[in-house]
Every structure is written in structure tokens, then in C-alpha cells.
Amino acid sequence: MPPTTTTTRQPTKQMEDSSVLQELKETIRRQAAEIETLKKQQAHDPSSQSQGTSVTATANAKSTAAGTGGHHGPPVLLDELDYLQTSCWMLGRKRVGWLSVFLCSLSLTALIVNQFEETLSRQIELAYFVPLLAGHGGNTGGQTVGTVLAAFGSGTISQKDAPRVICKEACTGAMVGSLLGTCVGLVCYFLMGISTEVSWVVACTIPLVSFIAATLASALPFLCLVFDLDPTVIAAPAMTSLVDVSGLLSYFLIANFIFRLFKIEL
């Protein structure tokens, strides 16, 4: 009896496999027929080409979602699809104008340093941390700009979400800045041998720079969209320029205030 059971099961399994293959072949035939129908419609009616393109895009989006388990992947925008077809000359011409504007705005940093030259000459330790603060502001703002632009590309936020996004990023920047400022201040005083007053200046400036950078970086993409500008070209360099100028000014103003608290003459 056992051999008979095994022999009976094998044909049944073969029949099931055969039926699955038949269904798969039928599905492929139907899809091929639909594609041929769409091609014929596009050949006779040019206006249907846009519909066919949208159907193809929808199918690609569905297949991408299925391949990623339904999660949002990296946004695929039309500009990204055209990027490889755009020449270096066109890319440079699109960017050089705004970069020239921001380069001129960075000249304000030279004016700020010249204005506080006496403060630097009496407290030379302040000069050690100017690159650190500028780099930290750019890093903080860069993270925020990337996050906001990615959220725009995936469709998770829109222009109406501006207040919520800006408040969230500003609070995040202040929180991260406070943590890093405390750590850097302690390192400056205990490990680097920096004076107490300068350590306090650095510890107090980092949270403010982080707050300014996160706020500007989250607000600029929305402002670009309001004025119909490209945030991918403008937001990041504009943020860097504004953060460098405002961060340096804040640094010296905080330094003057703390030096007065320690009764240090400048």
C-alpha cells in the first residue's frame, strides 16, 4: 500500500505544477497583448502617448514599491532623469550665478573679523575655534537641507507643513547643539588647556550656531518654492553663506558678553 500512495501523489503534484505554469503563460500573453494594443493606440493617436507614459510610470512606481516592500525609496524626479543628458556647460551656467552671489555675501565675514580685530588680538585663543564653528554650522545645515529635500521628493511633506517642519528642525538643532557644546567646552578646558572664559564662549556659541543653521536650512527650501526657485541649487549654498556670517557674528558678540562677565578688558 505505501508505494501505491507515493505513486498517486507524484502525478497530482505534476498536475498542480502544470496548471501553475499554464496560468503564468496566460498572464504573460495577456500582458503582451495589452502592450501591443497600447503601441497601436500611440501610433494612431499621438495624444494617447502621454497616457501610455503615465501608465508606464505608474507601473514602474508600483514595481519599485513592491521591490522595496512598500517603503519610500529615494525620490526619482524628472530633473534626475535628465541629469545624465545635461552637459557640464548647462549645469555650470545654471549654478554659477547663485554661487557668485553667495561668494560676495561671504565677504561679510572679512568685515566682521576686521570689526572684532581688537578682540582677537587680545584673546588669540578665539581664533582657534573659528574654523570649527564654521564647519559645524555647515554640517548641521547640510544634514537638515538633505532631510527636508528628501522629504519633499518622497512626498511626505508639502508647503503647508512649513511651520511644523521648521519648528521641529530648530528644536532638534538646539538640542544637538547643546549636547555638543557641553562636550566641546569640557574638552577645551580640561584637555586642551583653553582658558575658562574662551571655553565658555565656545560652549555657548555651538548651540546657537546649530539652532541658526537648522532653522535656516529647513526654511530655505520652502522659501525657494514660494518664489518658484530651484531649492536643490539655492538652498544649500545660501544656508552655508548665511550660517557662516551669522555664526561668526554671534561668536564675537557672545565673546564680548562673556568677557565682560569675567571682567576682562578688551
Q: Note the pLDDT tens digit of each residue in 141-150.
A: 999 999 999 9
User: Average per-residue pLDDT in the chain?
Assistant: 82
Question: For residue 66, what are the CA distances in angstroms to 55, 59, 71, 72, 153?
Answer: 16, 10, 9, 10, 19
CB 165, CB 144: distance < 8 Å: no
Is the predicted pLDDT of residue 26 greater than 80, yes or no? no
**In degrees rounded to 5, what are phi and psi of residue 158?**
-140, 180
Average pLDDT (81-91) is 81
Is the predicted pLDDT of residue 93 greater than 60, yes or no? yes
User: Which band of pLDDT confidence, cut at 50, 70 and 90, is reported for residue 62?
Assistant: very low
Instruction: Measure the CA–CA gap between 82 and 38, rounded to whole angstroms.
Output: 25
Only one residue has cell 578665539, namely: 126
